[in-house]
Amino acid sequence: MKLSMLSIFLLIMGTSSAHLTELRHWEIASRDPDRIYLTFNGDPATSRGVAWRTSIKIETAYAEIAPALGAPGFDLAARRCKAETDVVNLNQVEENTQKTVHFHQVLFTGLQPDTLYAYRVGDGDQRWSEWIQFRTAKQQPAPFSFIYFGDAQNDILSRWSRTVRMAYQTVPDAAFMLHCGDLVDHAHNDNEWSQWFKAGGFLHAQITGIPVLGNHEYVGSFRAQGEKTKSILWNPQFNLPIEKSLPESLHKTCYTVDYQGARIIVLNSNKHQKEQTEWFKAQLERPGAQWLIVAFHHPLFPPAGRVYFDDELRNEWLQLITRYNVDLLLQGHDHSYLRGTLPLIDQIDSFQTLVVTSVSGPKQYPSQTDSAESFSEEGFNEDRRGENGQFFQPISINGDTLTYRCHLADGELYDEVVIRKDFQTGKKTLQSDSYRGEERTFKNTPEYNKANL
């Protein structure tokens, strides 16, 4: 039976309308800005990036920014910036109900260091967000704290929300939040991204984010015939730096942030790793950082035994980390907790790099402790594991001291170490016995039910 074009149109519209009624109000794009996300894009002392979403009815968008004052008339000094707008066709992926939305991006430049600013985003008329405050970085090394999260990925609104909100309660003055990949489970699924943004709420707009691309931010869309592609939402919703020396496919997935004496290097462990190696080396060699922190998704020493890297590439990155005296390596992917150390080259009894894999969401994998022997042959010293827990990690830097803590989603302290570093020699000492409770396992924690995820 042949259907007329009108019949097909009505059938499609009817189906779409039925699906739209199932969406919750916070999933549906409107004239009002939502999914506001603050990022580093440029010098953290003088710039910030912001992105947000609206319906396609908002064709032109703006952001306004002013130094924040105690008086309500601070906005009299606000300057207005016109946004760049991306049209995102969500319907190119079959699981999405909404069709087309707009994402807008503005880069604030020319800001003053160590200054509290207030900004808002909107249509330039009546549809504005609230005023949101953030502080620019100091231009010189100075104390600060940040929070690191492993995978959120599953049951995001229901169960991950408590982790990110407890993290904020624990470190309300965090300079930024670093998300180490697999923010969602299905890369292109707009519902899951809606959950992620609602779970974090105003925190995403107020505390600058450093998102890292995970394997679940890559997937094949039905029109790509199985070819893996980056999430159609990644670039529009994250206003991130573009490293022009890297292939276009790596843009907005590999970047560095120099923050008050620390350099954070973000890598993409999902694809084109070989092409990143020289760029990675150049960032490690570049002067000006007292502390070197590296973040990528797939762990070099996976606690659940899920090896992702091929041996050659893994060895290349591992050698760079040890050769250039990286202080802290942050990873996700394995849905379990592991902290350990790497020694100085050819000095097994020394300490050089603190290596962590963690998880913040409810999806959990059991540890594979038989991997510890092979890890130790490479000099990796395993110190602390944890199963069946949702974790977040506050990290503080104050001069020659880096304090690393790991908390559970209920706020309980699970792990803590302190690194002290001699900036002249690069030599580091590690104090790890300040806290040592019972190690979490599936056997000594409440039963875990995967069927609910």
Structural domain includes residue 31: yes
Q: For residues 125 and 180, state if they share a domain.
A: no
Q: For residues 155 and 247, state if they share a domain.
A: yes
pLDDT at 96: 84
Three-state secondary-structure class, residue 144: strand
Structural domain includes residue 3: no
Per-residue pLDDT of the chain (453 residues; tens, 9 = 90+): 343 433 333 333 333 333 444 889 999 999 999 999 999 999 999 999 999 999 999 999 999 999 999 999 999 999 999 999 999 999 888 778 888 999 999 999 999 999 999 999 999 999 999 999 999 999 999 999 999 999 999 999 999 999 999 999 999 999 999 999 999 999 999 999 999 999 999 999 999 999 999 999 998 543 444 457 899 999 999 999 999 999 999 999 999 999 999 999 999 999 888 899 999 999 999 999 999 999 999 999 999 988 888 888 899 999 999 999 999 999 999 999 999 999 866 565 568 999 999 999 999 999 998 877 778 888 899 999 999 999 999 999 999 999 999 999 999 999 999 999 999 999 999 987 656 688 999 999 998 776 666
Distance CA 256, CA 440 (A): 34
C-alpha dist (Å) from residue 75 to 67, 120, 131, 241, 375: 8, 10, 9, 28, 56
CATH of the domain at 408: 3.60.21.10
Using alpha carbons, select from 330, 316, 325 the residue that is nearest to residue 343.
325
Distance CA 405, CA 392 (A): 8
pLDDT at 378: 83
CATH of the domain at 51: 2.60.40.380
pLDDT at 268: 96
Contact of 173 with 208, CB cutoff 8 Å:
no
Q: For residues 242 and 298, state if they share a domain.
A: yes
Q: For residues 63 and 171, state if they share a domain.
A: no
Distance CA 128, CA 119 (A): 10
Q: For residues 156 and 218, state if they share a domain.
A: yes
Distance CA 276, CA 249 (A): 11
List, in sequence order, every residue forming a beta bridge with 146; answer none if it has no partner.
176, 395
Q: For residues 212 and 295, state if they share a domain.
A: yes
Distance CA 57, CA 59 (A): 6
Instruction: State the CB neighbour count (10 A cutoff) for residue 168.
Output: 20
pLDDT at 430: 92
**Rounded (to 5) percent helix, strand, coil in the chain:** 25, 30, 45
Structural domain includes residue 198: yes
Backbone conformation region of residue 280, classed left if phi is above 0, alpha if psi is from -120 to 50, else beta: alpha
Q: For residues 171 and 303, state if they share a domain.
A: yes
C-alpha dist (Å) from residue 46 to 37, 110, 114, 145: 18, 6, 9, 19
Distance CA 20, CA 172 (A): 37
Q: For residues 195 and 264, state if they share a domain.
A: yes
Q: For residues 187 and 59, state if they share a domain.
A: no
Token readout for 90 is 């969500």
Q: For residues 124 and 186, state if they share a domain.
A: no
List, in sequence order, every residue forming a beta bridge with 87; answer none if it has no partner.
102
pLDDT at 267: 98
Q: For residues 303 and 380, state if they share a domain.
A: yes
* Beta-strand relationship, 328-331 and 353-357: parallel
Structural domain includes residue 1: no
Q: For residues 61 and 151, state if they share a domain.
A: no
The sheet with strand 401-408 has its strands ordered as 84-89, 100-108, 48-54, 34-39, 208-211, 176-179, 144-149, 391-398, 401-408, 413-421, 428-431
Distance CA 266, CA 331 (A): 10
Structural domain includes residue 7: no
Amino acid at 326: V
List, in sequence order, every residue forming a beta bridge with 415; answer none if it has no partner.
406
CA dihedral 203, 207, 208, 213 (to 10 degrees): -40
Token readout for 6 is 């009108």
Structural domain includes residue 323: yes
Structural domain includes residue 13: no
pLDDT at 435: 60
Distance CA 158, CA 24 (A): 14
Three-state secondary-structure class, residue 141: coil
Residue range(s) defining the domain that contains residue 67:
24-135
Number of separate domains in the chain: 2
Query: What is the maximum span of the chain, computed from C-alpha positions, in angstroms?
Result: 81
